[in-house]
Copies of this chain bind each other. A is one copy, B any other.
Amino acid sequence: MPSVKMLINWQGKFNFSAKNENGLNVHFDAPSDFGGDGAALTPMENVLASLVVCSGIHIIDFLNKRRHKLNDFSINAFADRREEPPRGFTEIKIEYMFKGEELDENDVKEAIKISEEKYWSVGSMLKETTKIKSAYLINRE
């Protein structure tokens, strides 16, 4: 079965670093309202980023296969959290912004649809507890 392993090390205060088997790592800090001192992203910020990059990777893959040339691709993500603990996300809004002279809108729509419905590993887990909406914008520059 495909597996993922991470080793996490506490580094004082609320700072943590996490390392995969190849030694690549990411740092974390607690949110400021919890006493974190803003040294790194919080776990919830990282989850939101991971969610969006997960669909982004599949969107890029799909557009590559259709031989589209992207000049730029960025994504905004906004998430609301529960007021009371555990403060999971309640709603997430994603805005995909594509830039490319000859991008075909139908292919962009299909790229998003297939990524979100078929390949979205992170999304498939969060969808059960969180309402997720997405929209897109194509800039032909």
Contact = CB atoms under 8 A, between A and B. Distances in A.
15 contacts: A3-B80, A4-B77, A6-B52, A18-B41, A20-B45, A24-B40, A25-B41, A26-B49, A28-B57, A30-B57, A43-B121, A46-B49, A86-B120, A87-B121, A125-B125
Contacts of A134: none
Interface string A1-31: 1111111111000101010101011101010
User: In the complex this chain forms, how many copies of it are found?
Assistant: 2
Contact of A76 (B7, B22, B25): B7
By DSSP majority rule, is chain A's interface helix, strand, loop, or mixed? mixed
List the 3 closest pairs (A to B, CB-CB), nearest first.
A18-B49, A86-B124, A10-B73
